[in-house]
C-alpha cells in the first residue's frame, strides 16, 4: 500500500524553491531548503533585507522590481525571468512565479523559483545559430536557399528572390526541385542525395553546368553548391548556394574572342611575337617566331627560353629579360644571323605584363625586322659621305690658287736658302754657322710646305665615318690655316677666340666636321672680301653649356639677302658666281647626323651670323 501524499515533503525536496516575500520591502519571510542547493547561499542569507541586491544581476534588478510591483502579481501564475549570481560566481537564469496573498498578517507574495538556465542557454544557442545563418544568407554574394533534408524551402535571402524572381512568401514550404529545368532535375536530386549526414561528406559543389528556371520561364546558368547544417535542436538542413554565371560566361566568351583577335593580329604583324611567364616558359608564340627556330607553335609552348635559343643568344637578351620580369620595359637593337645564315637587324621590345595584384606574371616580346631600314640608313650615310667628299674636292679646286700661293712661299724660300747655303760653303774658309742656319730654314720651309700638303690630303681622304673626341677650337685653327692664303688675297682678317676656359670638345668625325667649318669660314671670307674697303673681318667664337657646344662665325660682309635665311640651306641655292650651292646644305646634313644643327641669322646692321651647335662630349670621370 502506497504511503499518503505529503505536500510539505514534496515542496521541500522538489526542483521548485518555495518562498514568501513581503510586498512592500521585498524582504524574504521564508524560503524552502532547496534555496541552499540552488545558489549555494545558506537559508539565513536569504532572510536578510539586501538579499535581492546581492543575488540579482544589476542590469535585471529594476525589471524585477517593476514586475513585482505591477498588478499582474495579483493574478495567480504571474512570472518574471531574470539572472542571478550564485555563491561561486556562476550566473544562472531563474523563473519567479508568484501571487499576492492578503490575510490578517498583511499582504505578501507567495511563489516559487525555478532554475531555467539550461533552457535559456539552449534558446540563446538557437537564436545565435539562427542569427548566424541569417547573417550568412543576408551577406552572401550568391543566392542562398535553406531547405530541409527532403528539399522543402525553409528560408532564402534577397539575392535568391532576385535570381529566381519569386518572393519567399510565395515558395516557403515548397520543393526547390521545380525551380531547376526539367532536363536537370534528376541530376539535381542525385546531387542532394549524395549528401550523407552520417559521413564526412557534408558539402559538395556540382562538377557539371547547371541552370535554374526563373518565374518568367527564362534560364540562368549557375554553379551549385550544397552543405549540410545542423541546428542546435538537432534538425539537419541543406544550405543550397546558386552562383550566377551569366557575367562569367559572357566574360569568358569575350576573352576567347579577344584571344582570337590577339592571335590574329600577332600572326598578321610582320614581327616575331611571344609571351613567357615568370619562369621564362613560352606560353604563346606566333607562327613567325616558331618558324624562326624551326619548330611549330605547340612544340615551343611550355619550353624555357634558354632551351630554345641557346646560351649564347640568351646572354644577349638576359639583361632585357631580367628588366621586363622586374616590371621595367626594355628595348634594344641587335644584329643577328637568320637561319639561312644572312645578317639581319631587329628592334626588340620586352613589355612586362601585370596581374590583378600588380605583380609581374610574364612579358611580351616583339622583334621587328629593321634590316631594310638599317641598310637604307647605311646607304644614306655612304651617300652623305660621298657627297661631302665631292664637296671637299670642289672646295680644294676653288682654293687651288691660294694653295699654290701658300706652297710657293715656302718653296721659294727653300730655293733661296739652299742657294745661300751653297755660297756660304764655296769660300776657302766657309761660314759654317751661316750655312747651318740657312739649312735649318730650308728644313722649316719644307715642313711648312709638307703641312699644307698633309692638310690637303687629310681633307681629300675617303674613309668610313668614325666618332672620336674632337676639339672644335683646334679644328677651327686648322681650317683658318688652310684658308689663310685666300683670306690674305681677299684682304680679310680671320680671328679665332682664344678663351681656353670654354669647353669645345665634341664627339664626331674629324674629317666631316672639318668640312662643315671649311664651308662656313670660306663662305664668310668670300662674302666679306666683296667689301670695297677695310676692315674686313671674320670672327670664330665659342660658347658651351652642360649639354652642347656652340660655334659662331660672324662676318661684317654685306649679309644675307632679304627673305627667310632658311633659303640659304636649300640645295643648289647660291649667290656666288660659279658656286654649286651645296656647301651649306651639306654642312647642315653633317651637323644633324652628329645630333646638332646649323642656323643662320640676319643682323640689324651689315654682316651675317652662322651658328653651329653640337652635343658636348661626355665628361671624363676617370680621374674621379
CB of 90 closer than 8 Å to CB of 115: no
Domain end residue (candidates: 311, 344, 369): 369
Worst-scoring range by mean pLDDT, 82-86, 261-265, 395-399? 395-399
- Please give the order of strands across the beta sheet that includes 271-277: 282-285, 271-277, 360-369, 343-354, 330-337
Closest by CA to 136, choosing from 236, 224, 229, is 229
110 and 185 assigned to the same domain: no
CB of 589 closer than 8 Å to CB of 597: no
Let me know if residue 291 belongs to a domain.
yes
Range of the domain at 42: 7-115
478 and 603 assigned to the same domain: yes
Let me know if residue 623 belongs to a domain.
no
505 and 596 assigned to the same domain: yes
Sole residue written with cell 674697303: 533
- What would the pLDDT profile of 275-317 be if each residue is shown by its tens digit? 888 888 988 888 888 888 888 877 888 888 888 888 888 888 8
415 and 527 assigned to the same domain: yes
474 and 599 assigned to the same domain: yes
194 and 277 assigned to the same domain: no
- What would the pLDDT profile of 347-363 be if each residue is shown by its tens digit? 888 988 887 778 888 88
Domain end residue (candidates: 369, 392, 407): 369
432 and 356 assigned to the same domain: no
What is the predicted pLDDT for the residue at 33?
87
- Beta-bridged to residue 336, according to DSSP, are 344
What is the predicted pLDDT for the residue at 624?
37
Cα–Cα separations (whole angstroms), residue 327 to 314, 330, 352, 572? 19, 9, 5, 52
Number of structural domains found in the chain: 4
What CATH code is carried by the domain that includes residue 290? 3.30.450.20
174 and 282 assigned to the same domain: no
At residue 301, the 3 state secondary structure works out as coil
Let me know if residue 262 belongs to a domain.
no
pTM: 0.36
CA-CA-CA-CA torsion sign (468, 472, 476, 477): negative
310 and 362 assigned to the same domain: yes
Q: What is the spatial distance between Cα 217 and Cα 82, in angstroms, rounded to a whole number?
A: 54
- Beta-bridged to residue 83, according to DSSP, are 93
- What would the pLDDT profile of 552-604 be if each residue is shown by its tens digit? 888 888 777 665 566 566 654 455 554 444 567 777 878 888 888 888 887 76
85 and 172 assigned to the same domain: no
155 and 224 assigned to the same domain: yes
498 and 602 assigned to the same domain: yes
Amino acid at each position: 500500500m502506497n504511503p499518503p501524499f505529503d505536500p510539505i515533503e514534496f515542496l521541500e525536496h522538489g526542483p521548485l524553491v518555495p518562498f514568501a516575500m513581503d510586498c512592500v520591502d521585498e524582504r524574504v519571510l521564508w524560503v524552502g531548503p532547496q534555496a541552499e542547493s540552488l545558489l549555494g547561499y545558506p537559508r539565513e542569507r536569504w532572510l536578510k533585507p539586501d538579499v535581492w541586491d546581492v543575488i540579482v544581476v544589476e542590469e535585471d534588478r529594476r525589471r524585477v522590481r517593476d514586475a513585482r510591483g505591477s498588478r499582474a502579481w495579483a493574478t495567480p501564475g504571474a512570472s518574471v525571468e531574470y539572472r542571478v549570481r550564485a555563491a561561486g560566481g556562476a550566473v544562472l537564469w531563474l523563473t519567479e512565479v508568484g501571487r499576492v496573498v492578503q490575510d490578517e498578517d498583511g499582504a505578501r507574495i507567495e511563489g516559487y523559483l525555478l532554475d531555467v538556465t539550461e533552457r535559456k542557454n539552449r534558446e540563446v544557442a538557437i537564436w545565435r545559430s539562427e542569427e548566424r545563418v541569417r547573417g550568412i544568407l543576408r551577406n552572401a554574394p550568391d543566392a542562398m536557399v535553406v531547405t530541409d533534408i527532403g528539399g522543402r524551402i525553409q528560408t532564402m535571402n534577397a539575392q535568391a528572390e532576385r535570381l529566381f524572381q519569386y518572393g519567399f512568401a510565395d515558395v516557403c514550404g515548397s520543393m526547390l526541385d521545380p525551380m531547376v529545368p526539367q532536363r536537370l532535375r534528376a541530376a539535381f536530386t542525385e546531387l542532394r542525395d549524395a549528401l550523407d549526414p552520417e559521413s564526412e561528406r557534408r558539402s559538395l559543389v556540382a562538377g557539371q553546368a547547371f541552370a535554374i528556371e526563373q518565374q518568367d520561364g527564362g534560364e540562368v546558368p549557375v554553379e551549385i553548391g550544397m552543405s549540410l547544417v545542423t541546428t542546435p535542436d538537432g534538425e539537419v538542413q541543406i544550405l543550397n548556394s546558386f552562383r550566377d554565371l551569366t557575367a562569367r560566361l559572357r566574360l569568358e566568351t569575350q576573352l576567347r574572342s579577344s584571344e582570337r583577335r590577339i592571335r590574329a593580329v600577332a600572326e598578321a604583324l610582320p614581327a616575331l611575337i611571344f609571351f613567357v611567364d615568370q619562369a621564362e616558359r613560352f606560353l604563346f608564340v606566333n607562327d613567325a617566331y616558331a618558324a624562326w627556330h624551326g619548330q611549330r607553335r605547340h612544340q615551343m609552348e611550355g619550353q624555357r627560353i634558354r632551351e630554345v635559343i641557346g646560351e649564347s643568344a640568351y646572354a644577349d637578351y638576359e639583361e632585357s629579360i631580367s628588366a621586363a620580369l622586374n616590371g621595367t620595359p626594355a628595348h634594344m637593337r641587335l644584329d643577328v644571323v637568320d637561319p639561312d645564315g644572312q645578317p639581319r637587324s631587329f628592334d626588340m621590345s620586352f613589355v612586362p605584363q601585370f596581374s590583378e595584384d600588380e605583380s609581374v606574371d610574364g612579358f611580351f616580346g616583339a622583334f621587328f625586322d629593321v634590316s631594310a631600314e638599317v641598310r637604307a640608313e647605311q646607304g644614306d650615310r655612304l651617300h652623305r659621305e660621298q657627297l661631302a667628299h665631292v664637296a671637299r674636292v670642289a672646295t680644294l679646286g676653288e682654293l687651288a690658287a691660294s694653295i699654290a700661293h701658300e706652297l710657293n712661299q715656302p718653296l721659294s724660300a727653300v730655293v733661296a736658302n739652299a742657294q745661300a747655303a751653297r755660297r756660304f760653303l764655296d769660300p776657302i774658309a766657309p761660314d759654317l754657322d751661316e750655312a747651318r742656319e740657312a739649312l735649318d730654314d730650308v728644313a722649316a720651309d719644307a715642313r711648312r710646305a709638307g703641312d699644307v700638303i698633309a692638310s690637303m690630303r687629310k681633307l681629300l681622304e675617303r674613309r668610313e665615318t668614325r666618332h672620336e673626341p674632337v676639339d672644335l677650337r683646334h679644328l677651327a685653327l686648322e681650317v683658318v690655316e688652310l684658308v689663310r692664303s685666300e683670306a690674305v688675297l681677299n684682304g680679310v682678317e680671320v680671328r679665332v677666340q682664344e678663351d681656353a676656359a670654354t669647353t669645345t670638345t665634341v664627339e664626331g668625325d674629324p674629317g666631316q666636321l672639318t668640312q662643315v667649318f671649311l664651308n662656313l669660314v670660306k663662305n664668310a671670307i668670300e662674302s666679306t672680301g666683296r667689301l670695297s674697303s677695310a676692315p674686313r673681318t671674320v670672327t670664330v667664337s665659342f660658347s658651351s653649356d652642360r649639354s652642347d657646344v656652340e660655334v659662331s662665325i660672324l662676318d661684317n660682309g654685306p649679309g644675307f639677302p632679304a627673305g627667310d635665311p632658311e633659303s640659304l640651306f636649300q640645295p643648289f641655292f647660291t649667290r656666288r658666281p660659279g658656286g654649286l650651292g651645296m656647301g651649306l646644305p651639306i654642312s647642315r646634313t653633317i651637323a644633324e647626323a652628329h645630333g646638332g644643327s646649323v642656323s643662320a641669322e640676319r643682323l640689324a646692321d651689315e654682316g651675317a651670323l652662322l651658328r653651329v651647335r653640337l652635343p658636348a662630349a661626355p665628361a671624363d670621370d676617370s680621374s674621379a
